[in-house]
C-alpha cells in the first residue's frame, strides 16, 4: 500500500481519531533520519537537537547578562 493510500483505508470517527491517525502516519512514513538540505544536510533529529541546544545557550546568556 502506498503512503498516499494509507489514510484512505480508515473511516475517521472524530477529531481525536483523526489526530491519532495523522500522528501515526507521520511517525511511520516521515523519515526523520535521512538528511535534508534545509537542515544543512544533517538528519532532522540532529539538526533540531543542535538548534534547541543553541537556543537554550542563548537564553541562558541573556538571563545571566
How much is the CA Rg of the chain, to the nearest whole Å?
Answer: 18
pLDDT at 2 over 70: no
Per-residue confidence band for 6, with pLDDT thresholds at 50, 70 and 90: confident
* DSSP string computed for 46-62: HHHHHHHHHHHHHHHHH
- Structure pTM? 0.47
The three-class DSSP label of residue 65 is coil
Give per-residue pLDDT as tens, 28-64: 777 666 777 877 888 778 888 999 999 999 998 888 8
Predicted local distance difference test score (pLDDT) of residue 57: 93
Amino acid at each position: 500500500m502506498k503512503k498516499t493510500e494509507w489514510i484512505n483505508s480508515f473511516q475517521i470517527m472524530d477529531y481525536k481519531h483523526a489526530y491519532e491517525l495523522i500522528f501515526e502516519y507521520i511517525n511511520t512514513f516521515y523519515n526523520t533520519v535521512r538528511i535534508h538540505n534545509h537542515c544543512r544536510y544533517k538528519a532532522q533529529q540532529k539538526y533540531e537537537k543542535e538548534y534547541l541546544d543553541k537556543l537554550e545557550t542563548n537564553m541562558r546568556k541573556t538571563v545571566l547578562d
